[in-house]
Amino acid sequence: MRSLGGMRREPAPPEATLADFVPMQDGRTRLLVRRGWEDAAEHLSDPDQISSEEVVAGGRAAHPVATLPNGSRVVVRGYRRGGMMRLVNRGLYFGGNRAFDELRAAERARAGGVRTPVVVAAIERPARLAGYRAWLATVLLSGGLNLAAWLAAEADEARRADVLREAGRQTAMMHAAGVAHADLNLRNLLVLPADAGDEVYLLDFDKAAVSATPVSPARRERDLRRLARSARKLEAGLGPGHWSVFRDGYGDDWPPGVDLAKVPKEERGKGE
């Protein structure tokens, strides 16, 4: 692997949300690396070579945890296809910039006050013949549970209400920042214990839509209904009172006429 000095620095990206990132290149591999973390580029430029005894479970695969020179531990998530496509093409993409686009969405949300894992680097590497593979490296958040698992383990209704209210607040800030989540579900919210109370993080901004203005009411409704359907499917036991608390946390920009307590497990058209 090349030393950091062997990597080329590219012109800075124009987006204000990416001003904290340094474009770098190692051979054909392109990286956007957070300022102050440039030493990490040497360790992340070839994710296939990362060996780790620790992994973090993901939606479609387990992701390795790498230890960087500064002692920080990061989760290196490779992008994987789902559905039938995974049988013929597991990790190649032929359009867009999956990692860079997710970085842009995560940083836009973060700039709007949303708690998200700190992105250290986005990495994309062209394949030999066509397409590219992509990875995103984020600082590991230890000791948390996704909201579905947390609700299943927590019986204290006052604490549950506090977390649901905070989940609503984080979702509202994401929408106000102009970010619409592609897969808002209970497993993409992380509850992390903290000295001042439980914190809620939003995860996985892959394929998120980013706009210059706050998210439209129709798209807000789509995200929220998807969240409610996930709660039904995962049998989270959220009733009208729980969703009322979530709505209180979300605030005044709640889309009109939306009652998440009445959203069925499966639905067509509405919110999709």
Q: Tell me the pLDDT tens digit for each residue of 201-225.
A: 999 999 999 999 999 999 999 999 9
Both 135 and 151 in one domain: the answer is: no
**Domain containing residue 192: CATH number:** 1.10.510.10
Both 59 and 183 in one domain: the answer is: no
Domain membership flag for residue 97: yes
Domain membership flag for residue 176: yes
- Span 93-132, pLDDT tens digits: 677 788 999 999 999 999 999 999 999 999 998 887 778 8
Write down the pLDDT at residue 265: 83
Both 111 and 78 in one domain: the answer is: yes
Both 67 and 86 in one domain: the answer is: yes
Predicted confidence (pLDDT) at residue 195 exceeds the cutoff of 80: yes
For residue 20, what are the domain limits? 4-139
User: Rounded to a whole number, what is the distance in angstroms from the first to the last CA of the chain?
Assistant: 45
Domain boundary among 105, 139, 173: 139
- Span 224-271, pLDDT tens digits: 999 999 999 999 999 999 999 999 999 999 999 999 999 998 876 555
The residues facing 200 across adjacent strands are 191
**Domain containing residue 75: CATH number:** 3.30.200
Amino acid symbol at 168: G
Domain membership flag for residue 270: no
Domain count, the chain: 2
pTM: 0.88
- pLDDT category at 63 given cuts 50, 70, 90 is confident
Both 134 and 151 in one domain: the answer is: no
Residue range 12-27: mean pLDDT, rounded: 79
Write down the pLDDT at residue 28: 86
* Cβ contact 34:20 at 8 Å: yes
Both 104 and 122 in one domain: the answer is: yes
Both 178 and 125 in one domain: the answer is: no
Residue range 25-51: mean pLDDT, rounded: 88
- pLDDT category at 42 given cuts 50, 70, 90 is confident
Domain membership flag for residue 155: yes
Range in 53-62, 73-82, 143-152, 187-196 the model is least confident about: 53-62
Domain boundary among 115, 139, 163: 139
- Span 142-192, pLDDT tens digits: 999 999 999 999 999 999 999 999 999 999 999 999 999 999 999 999 999
Residue range 29-55: mean pLDDT, rounded: 85
Both 52 and 131 in one domain: the answer is: yes
Bigger pLDDT: 56 or 102? 102
Domain membership flag for residue 188: yes
Both 25 and 105 in one domain: the answer is: yes
Both 135 and 22 in one domain: the answer is: yes
Domain boundary among 111, 139, 167: 139
Write down the pLDDT at residue 1: 39
Domain membership flag for residue 269: no
Domain membership flag for residue 271: no
Domain membership flag for residue 208: yes
Amino acid symbol at 89: N
* Cβ contact 123:44 at 8 Å: yes
Both 112 and 233 in one domain: the answer is: no
3-state secondary structure the chain: CCCHHHCEECCCCCCHHHCCEEEEEECCEEEEEECCCHHHHHHHCCHHHCCCCCEEECCCCEEEEEECCCCCEEEEEECCCCHHHHHCCCCCECCCCHHHHHHHHHHHHHHCCCCCCCEEEEEEEECCCCCEEEEEEEECCCCCEEHHHHHHHCCCHHHHHHHHHHHHHHHHHHHHCCEECCCCCHHHEEEECCCCCCEEEECCCCCCEECCCCCCHHHHHHHHHHHHHHHHHCCCCCCHHHHHHHHHHHCCCCCCCCCHHHCCCCCCCCCC
Write down the pLDDT at residue 84: 47
Both 125 and 232 in one domain: the answer is: no
Residue 60 burial class via C-beta count within 10 angstroms: exposed 0-12, middle 13-18, buried 19 and up: middle
Bigger pLDDT: 101 or 2? 101
